[in-house]
Amino acid sequence: KKYTKADIQRIVADEDIKFIRLQFVDILGALKNVAITVDQLDKALNGEIMFDGSSISGFVRMEESDMYLIPDLDTFVSFPWRTHQSKVARLICDIYKTTGEPYGDDPRGVLKHAIAEAETMGYAFDVRPEFEFFLFQTDENGDPTTITHDKAGYFDLGPMDLGENVRRDMVLTLEEMGFKIRASHHEDAPGQHEIDFESADAITMADQIVTFKLVVKVVAQKHGLHATFMPKPLSHINGSGMHINMKLKDQNGKNIFYDAQDPLKLSQTAYYFLGGLLAHSKAITAITNPTVNSYKRLVPGFEAPVHIGWSTSNLSPLVRIPTVRGEEALLELRSPDPSCNPYLGLSVILKAGLDGINNKIMPPEMMNSDQLRAISNILSEDTLPSDLKEAIIELSKDPVIKEALGNVYDSYIKAKGFEWDAYQKQVHAWEVDTYTSRY
């Protein structure tokens, strides 16, 4: 444990913090918060602050509208930037019902449940994301455009990479907030950037992911730019992924995915985990790739996965085994995109892997480079869902992944049903361009 209530009270006084934001996420992964003044800090730390959940997406049952915010003290951090001249700190909270039970539609609670299941099997889940995003220019009203902020490419540097200063500012701000940044670089597409941080246990990481997105947006805005985590903002260039590198550790913190005897240095447990990930990959896509737009990224030719398979090569398999070994041995799942709710995403990924271990699911043979290069056939069975609707149908057919979502499942299906419906009713620019003259 990092902080006690007294520690937090002391820091708030020392740093002259005026407001505390009590944060949580809705089922779509959007960060929500209630700001309180320092006068209410005691009450907040004791978990006595209530909010009305009835108007938050996914938190829809009116009879349960009053809920408690129970802060996780270890998530306390003060924002390095000021809001209206005041210093602000935040605490991420778990949501409880007035009856004292955890609220079933709280994504953080869903992840805690999955982690508890791993714990009973003797495992800790350790994850590390690679974050990609675009920086776009804003128009005279400050609204985002889709004009990329630069014209640079993979690993380019200044003065070509105009994002360098913005990225540096992001990294420094994140470090001030306790992030350990591994790397940051310009990505392949113009205006596209990547920032990678060090691994952490899944709850800490999900908290860090929502914080990361907030920081990136705040810093971009300070530079007059708009940062977007939309998976595929522009048609003819790469989209943005949120690759997840993962491993299981035992009680002593040892990486159990490593086995020196194996040709790929992976343990039997790692192969089963991989087998589970692949076996459930269609269903988990509904969570890791949650928007209509997510599926515009999962197409051939843009370094995003399409086929369900794994490989040690860099040619965009769904799961890649990077060439780092020993304590670093891990699996990299390349399908998730940064629009995913990280709490739910990590829950279903973990659950899929644990199911592989429980049922000794062996992965298929590794894909070769010809298979990885092949353009997918529209009828092929071994590909990820091609749109949100297909993904939701796959989810509905997978009892293991449904169970991982608990109560959230119903609310999620409902929210995504509305989203799909709204999208499907639209006539899109491509259709008009293609069909008005042809027919």
156 scored as a contact of Mg ion (CB under 5 A): no
Helices (H) and strands (E) in the chain, counts: 14, 16
Q: Which DSSP symbol is given to 309?
A: -
Q: How many CB atoms lie within 10 A of CB 404?
A: 28
Q: Which of 194, 207, 337, 398 binds Mg ion (CB under 5 A)?
A: 194
* Contact between 303 and ligand GLN per CB under 6 A: yes
CA 244 to chain CA centroid, Å, is: 8
To Mg ion, the closest distance from the beta carbon of 345 in angstroms equals: 16
Which residue of 297, 307, 389, 416 would you call a contact of ligand GLN, by CB under 6 A? 297
- Check if the beta carbon of residue 79 is closer than 8 Å to that of residue 87: yes
HSE of 88, CA atoms in CB hemisphere, 13 A: 15
Which CB atom, from 226 or from 243, has the smaller least distance to Mg ion? 243
What's the DSSP call for residue 59? B
**Residue 185 CB, nearest approach to ligand GLN (Å):** 10
Number of residues forming the site for ligand GLN (CB under 6 A) = 10
Question: How far apart (Å, rounded) are the C-alpha atoms in residues 227 and 219?
Answer: 9
Pick one of 71, 107, 233, 239: the residue that binds ligand GLN (CB under 6 A): 239
Binding status of residue 196 toward ligand GLN by CB under 6 A? no
> What is the DSSP secondary structure assignment for residue 289, as one 8-state letter?
S
Q: 190 vs 182, 230, 336, CA distance in Å?
A: 22, 15, 21
- Does 241 bind ligand GLN (CB under 6 A)? Our answer is yes
Residue 132 makes contact with ligand GLN by CB under 6 A = yes
Least distance (Å) from Mg ion to the CB of residue 414?
A: 33
Give me the least distance between CB of 413 and ligand GLN, in Å please.
26
Stretch that binds ligand GLN, among 34-42, 90-98, 112-120, 238-246 (CB under 6 A): 238-246
214, 221 in Cβ contact below 8 A? no
Minimum separation from the CB atom of position 187 to ligand GLN (A): 6
**Region 322-351 residues binding ligand GLN, contact defined as CB under 6 A:** 334
The span from the CA of 126 to the CA of 144, in Å, is 35
Residue from 304, 306, 308, 391 in contact with ligand GLN (CB under 6 A)? 304
Asked if residue 149 lies in contact with residue 135, where contact means CB atoms within 8 angstroms, the answer is yes
Helix H or strand E encompassing 210: helix 202-222
Give the nearer residue to ligand GLN in terms of CB position, either 106 or 337.
337
Does position 150 interact with Mg ion (CB under 5 A)? The reply is: no
What residues does 89 pair with on adjacent strands? Answer: 20, 78
State the residues that interact with Mg ion by CB under 5 A.
130, 194, 243
Residues near ligand GLN, by CB under 6 A? 132, 188, 238-241, 297, 303-304, 334
